[in-house]
């Protein structure tokens, strides 16, 4: 489903993990104040830590 279709449909669309990362990165680039950048960087760091934890569980 395209983003436009998702925005105009009544069915909620769950974001994929990659899409969420992309949106966080885009928001970080577009952020215009330090507080917003700080919180977006924190969110990205949490996502990285979550991915590393998931990959550690899989490899064990």
CA 19 to chain centroid: 6
What is the per-residue pLDDT across 32-45, written as a single tens digit (0 to 9) for each? 999 999 999 999 99
**What's the rounded mean pLDDT across residues 45-49?**
92
In 10 A of CB 14, how many CB atoms?
7
Note the residue count of the chain: 60
- pLDDT confidence bin for 59, thresholds 50/70/90: low
DSSP letter for each residue of 9-51: SSS--PPPHHHHHHHHHHHHHH--SHHHHHHHHHHHHHHHHHH
Q: Give the whole-angstrom CA distance, residue 6 versus residue 39.
A: 27
Q: Give the whole-angstrom CA distance, residue 17 versus residue 58.
A: 17
């Amino acid at each position: 489903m395209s983003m436009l279709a998702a925005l105009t449909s009544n069915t909620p669309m769950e974001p994929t993990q990659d899409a969420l990362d992309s949106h966080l990165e885009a928001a970080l680039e577009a952020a215009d104040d330090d507080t917003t950048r700080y919180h977006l960087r924190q969110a990205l760091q949490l996502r990285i830590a979550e991915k590393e934890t998931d990959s550690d569980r899989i490899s064990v």
